[in-house]
Structure 1
Amino acid sequence: MTAPEVLTSTRSSTGILELNRPKALNALDPEMIAIITAALEEWRDDPEIHRVVVVSNSEKGFCAGGDIKVVRERALEGDHEFGDQFLQAEYTMNAMIANYSKPYVAIIDGVVMGGGLGVSAHGSHRVISEKAFAAMPETAIGFIPDVGLSWMSTHVESAEGIPLPAVAKFVGITGYRMQPADMLYSGLATHFVPSEKIGDFTDMLIAESIDEALEKFAEEFTEESFLNQHRTVIEKCFGHDSWAEIEAALGQCEDPEFVDLVWDLLSSANPASVVATTELYTANAEIDSVEKGLNNEYAVGSVLRRQPNFPEGVRAVLVDKDRQPKFDPAKPADVDPIQYRSVLS
């Protein structure tokens, strides 16, 4: 008998979600989303449950994203309704986590990308180890950063004590891989616990409380953040509303190493996704709820999923894995932003 893809249990006064699809690096599929949603609904109203913790049963990481290959397969058959329903269910779950009335603790001891951020970043506590790294590489597959991250990352309090929307926009557009110091600096992560202590930390927070466990095991992370080191140039280049303005700023930038990095990160990105992502982050930085942010992601994503660049990007990265996508248009300058801007609220 096959074990569920998410194992749910309760211990002491803690509801436990164990992501249990290790061969797929816990890529979220509809079954996993349904299990998580049902458990959270049950525990939300259970007075015996005081907190929820989500962990991974994979030694390689937390969650590598959503199972987007099946969305591509259905789209190629002309069935876009499958993708619509998949993402509606996922985004409903993301909003539930963001608004959860009890502490929700995500423990990230490895890779977390895409949909994995949707089941972790909206929690009250995002605990990482030195093995953690995060990215939203959706522009490379012809899509946009979603699962509420385009809203959360532009509103969350950073180590500077304020949100850093231009930094969030840089990360979202380029797919930059955030290291532990970047995750803590940007506000994506809230605490650091060394990997060798993660097991003891988890046991203590389950048996006692999150505050006691953090007091005993959380440490300062001393490495410097790239995002902090380059915040000034990031804000000069990415602190604009449209991709055309960002590209112009990059052309005038006096830090050639940073510019080279940006173009290297964007070398395999879908130009339409770059333009659409810029429009999305600009809009979501100005709105006041994760639900509205998710609605904007759904609206822009619905347009992109129905365009040929989406199946082509997923093919190049996740199916054939040749990393040789053929996108049309081939340059962001040839992409009309109005098609994406017009569906945003």
Structure 2
Amino acid sequence: MSDDVLLETRGAVGVVTLNRPKALNALDLGMCRKLQPALDAWAVDPAVKAVVIRGAGGRAFCAGGDVRAVAASAGSAAGEEQERLSREFFRAEYALNHRIHHFGKPFIALVDGICMGGGLGLSIHGAYRVVTEKLVLAMPETAIGLFPDIGGGWFLPRFPGEAGTYLGLTGARCSAADALWLGYATHHVESVRLDAVLDALVGAQWGSGAASAVAEKVLADFHADAGTSALAVQHGAIDRCFAAERVDDIQQALELEGTPWAQETWATLLRMCPMSLKVTLHQLRMGRTRDYDEMVTVEYRLSQAMTARQDFREGIRAVLVDKDNKPRWHPATLSDVTDAEVEACFAPLGADELVLPVPPR
């Protein structure tokens, strides 16, 4: 575990390197537990003016949270280990995201390659996201019986129009140009220049003004055009088809749209977990009017409800273990999922509710 996250201070910059390249830098419980105190310390250290986070290996920033480990623990006797790991992992991951969201100094993510699920949690909550031409951005949780967590209920509804609904339900992949249009990315830089970006941040004159102004000046000097966003081109159809309050109505809207894109999109939704689709749409609609801290509590409730279901283990099997991409969902269809079952996933947890402390600034 100790080598899975590398921490160093270079000049006035705290540097985090996610160092599990063979696992595409997937975030596990040990990594969360190592990162949290480091960020707390840097937040109150006057010598540290900014924090940079990056991924090792050149293929991924972070491919997500290590949900495979949570699912694998379900094989333990009576499921007690799975329940414990699910509770501890999501508590630690959400606390880490919360720490980043409320970080009082420039938090700069250098997002090169794959960034999915938990990778967005490590990046979108900070002040700056620098993406490269290698970016593959997605929230693919509905394919494994989960939902777009790590704050997805808060940030997806704040993407343009219904783009967040589309991405949260379908798990569609985004390019650097898409990420800029969405507002996820703040800057685009060629992958080969990322080391130079870090060197420039380390060598910046942090005493010359506000830390945010210094960071912005450095990043602006490296920013390059990313081209046209395919999502932006398609946004009219996305807004028409994904504005509905029910997944069934989204289906009807896609049928009316009748284009190859609409047909392909509905075919994608048919492969997703029906329970996940309905829970996710309810989550995203709720998130329109709630702030981030409120949605963290909601998402923790969902994390415990959804990981306890057989669909989660089946999704992990089909997508990440056997890789046959033929999950057997229960309930099997959207019409089989009742509103009462969806609402039950949002129920308060009583003494087990997630309570996050106010982070030091």
Length-normalised TM-score, structure 2: 0.88
Name the aligned partner's letter for residue 328 of structure 2. K
Name the aligned partner's letter for residue 197 of structure 1. R
The percentage of aligned residue pairs carrying the same residue is 35
CA distance in structure 1 between the aligned counterparts of 2:339 and 2:114, rounded to whole angstroms:
32
Name the aligned partner's letter for residue 308 of structure 2. R
The aligned residue for residue 128 of structure 2 is: 125
1:294 and 2:296 are equivalent in the alignment: yes
The aligned residue for residue 356 of structure 2 is: none
Alignment of 1:100-115 (within 5 A): 100-115=103-118
Local SS of the residue matching 2:110: strand
**RMSD of equivalent CA atoms:** 1.6
Q: After TM superposition, give the deviation of residue 265 of structure 1 in Å.
A: 2.4
CA distance in structure 2 between the aligned counterparts of 1:5 and 1:70, rounded to whole angstroms:
15
The aligned residue for residue 210 of structure 2 is: none
Q: Which moved more, 1:289-298 or 1:187-196?
A: 289-298
Local SS of the residue matching 1:220: coil
The aligned residue for residue 219 of structure 1 is: 224
2:62/2:115 contact within 8 Å kept: yes
Moved over 3 A (4+): none
Q: Deviations over 1:143-198 (max 9, x none)?
A: 1111112312223xxxxxxx425110100100000111111101111111111212
The aligned residue for residue 208 of structure 2 is: none
Local SS of the residue matching 1:266: helix
Q: Tell me which of 231, 237, 243 is aligned to 2:235.
A: 231
CA distance in structure 1 between the aligned counterparts of 2:325 and 2:244, rounded to whole angstroms:
29
Q: Tell me which of 74, 85, 99 is aligned to 1:96.
A: 99
1:280/1:300 contact within 8 Å kept: no
Return 5+ residue gaps in structure 2 as ranges.
205-213, 349-361
The aligned residue for residue 18 of structure 1 is: 17
Q: Which moved more, 1:267-276 or 1:111-120?
A: 267-276
1:28/1:115 contact within 8 Å kept: yes
Q: After TM superposition, give the deviation of residue 305 of structure 1 in Å.
A: 1.3
Name the aligned partner's letter for residue 6 of structure 2. L
Name the aligned partner's letter for residue 296 of structure 1. V
Question: What is the number of residues matched between the two proteins?
Answer: 334
1:283/1:344 contact within 8 Å kept: no
Q: After TM superposition, give the deviation of residue 331 of structure 1 in Å.
A: 1.4
1:39 and 2:54 are equivalent in the alignment: no
The aligned residue for residue 329 of structure 1 is: 331
Q: After TM superposition, give the deviation of residue 35 of structure 1 in Å.
A: 1.1
Alignment of 1:1-345 (within 5 A): 4-77=3-76, 78-79=79-80, 80-155=83-158, 163-208=159-204, 209-221=214-226, 223-253=227-257, 255-287=258-290, 289-342=291-344, 343=346
Q: After TM superposition, give the deviation of residue 330 of structure 1 in Å.
A: 1.8
CA distance in structure 1 between the aligned counterparts of 2:235 and 2:216, rounded to whole angstroms:
31
Q: Deviations over 1:208-265 (max 9, x none)?
A: 14233223211222x2212111111111111122212222322322x42121221232
Q: After TM superposition, give the deviation of residue 201 of structure 1 in Å.
A: 1.2
2:156/2:284 contact within 8 Å kept: no
CA distance in structure 2 between the aligned counterparts of 1:247 and 1:261, rounded to whole angstroms:
12
